[in-house]
Structure 1
Amino acid sequence: MTVHNIATKDQFKEVIAREPVVLIDAFATWCGPCKAVAPIIAKWAESEEFKDKIHFAKFDVDAVPELAQELGIRAMPTFLVFKDGDKVGEHLGGNPAPILNLLQKWNPEQ
């Protein structure tokens, strides 16, 4: 599994409706912390701990501003966890430890 790109608000809604647990990375191409944490997120998406258990997705807040507004994104990066279509967790910033804690908390096999 990889980190899937979300290009539209409708695509976002389809993903959270279809996948049991989703991590959304709201990023901007100009954001330094976003660039720094992206390889770590990609590594987790491929890890045995989370692969096929959590759906990893991202969207560019500048490319899909209506989704950023709907989700209340006010800083980049922002990580959101959705379970069964409902937002259950959020972390602002690129510090990997709290993001990993979110993933572990909502991993269906934990």
Structure 2
Amino acid sequence: MAIVNATDQTFVTETSTGVTLVDFWAPWCGPCRMIAPVLEEVDQEMGDKVKIVKVNVDENQETASKYGVMSIPTLLVFKDGNVVDKTVGFQPKEALVQLLQQHV
């Protein structure tokens, strides 16, 4: 499954069913750029079980504010539309896979 870019308008639809990992990021954020290829690897490994959604905080401030995103990258795990887990900052692939496997 491909990584999806969500907006304030599409966020609820993108996270409403199944397990979704949401990456709150910005283009100017170094750790956000570092985690992007890691998310691609996680998507290749777990794409049939987990959806990955990216939200640019500069362009979608309403959603970032709603979920209290203060630092980026912030990664939220949603299950059927509800936040079930959270991590902030760069995470290695193994840590993300372990985090997601708790919810699939």
1:5 aligned partner: 5
* Secondary structure, counterpart of 1:10 in structure 2: coil
Once residues 99 and 73 of structure 1 are traced to their aligned partners in structure 2, the CA distance between those partners, rounded to angstroms, is 18
State the one-letter code of the partner of 2:76. L
State the one-letter code of the partner of 2:35. V
Once residues 96 and 47 of structure 2 are traced to their aligned partners in structure 1, the CA distance between those partners, rounded to angstroms, is 16
Q: Is the 1:22–1:56 contact (alpha carbons within 8 Å) kept by the matching residues of 2? A: yes
State the one-letter code of the partner of 1:105. Q
4+ residue runs over 3 A deviation: none
Tell me which of 84, 98, 101 is aligned to 2:98. 101
TM-score, structure 2 normalization? 0.92
Once residues 5 and 75 of structure 1 are traced to their aligned partners in structure 2, the CA distance between those partners, rounded to angstroms, is 19
| Cα drift, residue 23 of structure 1 | 0.3
CA deviation digits over 1:3-55, x for unaligned, max 9?
11012x231101122x21100000011000000111011111011xx122111
Unaligned runs of 5+ in 2: none
Identity of aligned residues (%): 35
State the one-letter code of the partner of 1:14. T
2:63 aligned partner: 67
Once residues 24 and 102 of structure 1 are traced to their aligned partners in structure 2, the CA distance between those partners, rounded to angstroms, is 13
* Secondary structure, counterpart of 2:90 in structure 1: coil
1:38 aligned partner: 36
RMSD, aligned CA = 1.2
Once residues 44 and 86 of structure 1 are traced to their aligned partners in structure 2, the CA distance between those partners, rounded to angstroms, is 21
Say if 2:88 is the partner of 1:92: yes
1:20 aligned partner: 18
